Amino acid sequence: MFDLITHFLEYGGYVGLAFLMLLENVFPFIPSEVIMPLAGYVAHRGDMNLFLVILSGSIGSIAGAVFYYYIGWWLGLARVHRFIGRYGRWLTISNDDIDRSHAWFIRHQQKAVLIGRLLPTVRTLISIPAGIAKMSQPRFVFLTSIGTTAFTAILAVAGHALGSQYHLVEEWMNPLTNVIVAAVVISYIYRVIVYRPRERH
């Protein structure tokens, strides 16, 4: 996985990085915690510019967030309830979970978006309740941009700082990234197997 992402960045450049971060937000199977540090490593080697790495990674990630925001906007709470009633098991989410999350989001929407974009997994999903709640679009994009840029910058700078140890890192990063992806898949399968929806009251 390490080699695959590195080669993609080398040949795809900044557009490829933005595309990877877009995919990471829409289909979060390859975590940004892997993509952005690797982009930082590539920047350290001189193949990419660190500032443009942060910029392109942020643009791709923001685009993915906006995509989910508009899905939430289009769905609305009623459609979400119907969808979860039919497919909730496969998402390991119940309608009670949706109601609690919606009520909490209405109370804390600005902090939720800003802080949520800094947290793994949450950073992708927080866009949906924002859309469902019909949060102001300019405000959503503004807060998302701040949180996203900070998140991608931290990861890219960390990767850039470790660039001098690139070859040492490569030896353990390749199996580690494979383990991370496998852990995500196994965790999802386990959640589906043990999932039991809560009773609605």
Task: Answer yes or no: are the C-beta atoms of 57 and 17 closer than 8 Å.
Answer: yes
pTM above 0.85, yes or no: no
- Give the pLDDT of the chain (201 residues) as one tens digit per residue: 666 777 778 788 899 899 989 988 877 666 777 788 888 988 888 888 999 999 999 999 999 999 989 988 998 888 888 887 787 777 667 778 778 878 888 888 898 898 888 877 677 778 888 998 899 999 999 999 999 999 899 889 988 888 767 555 556 655 666 676 677 678 778 776 776 665 554
Q: pLDDT value at position 19?
A: 92
The string of DSSP letters for 97-108 reads HHHHHHHHHHHH
Phi and psi at residue 45, to the nearest 5°: -75, -10
125-161: b (≥16 Cβ within 10 Å) or e: ebbbbbbbbebeeeebeebbbebbbebbbebbbebbe
The residues, ordered by sequence, that sit 6+ positions from 119 with a Cβ below 8 Å of its Cβ are none
Residue 1 CB: number of other CB atoms within 10 A?
A: 18
Q: In the structure encoding, which two tokens stand for residue 176, read together?
A: 């580690």
Q: pLDDT value at position 129?
A: 87
Q: pLDDT value at position 168?
A: 59
Domain ranges of the chain: 2-194
Q: pLDDT value at position 201?
A: 46
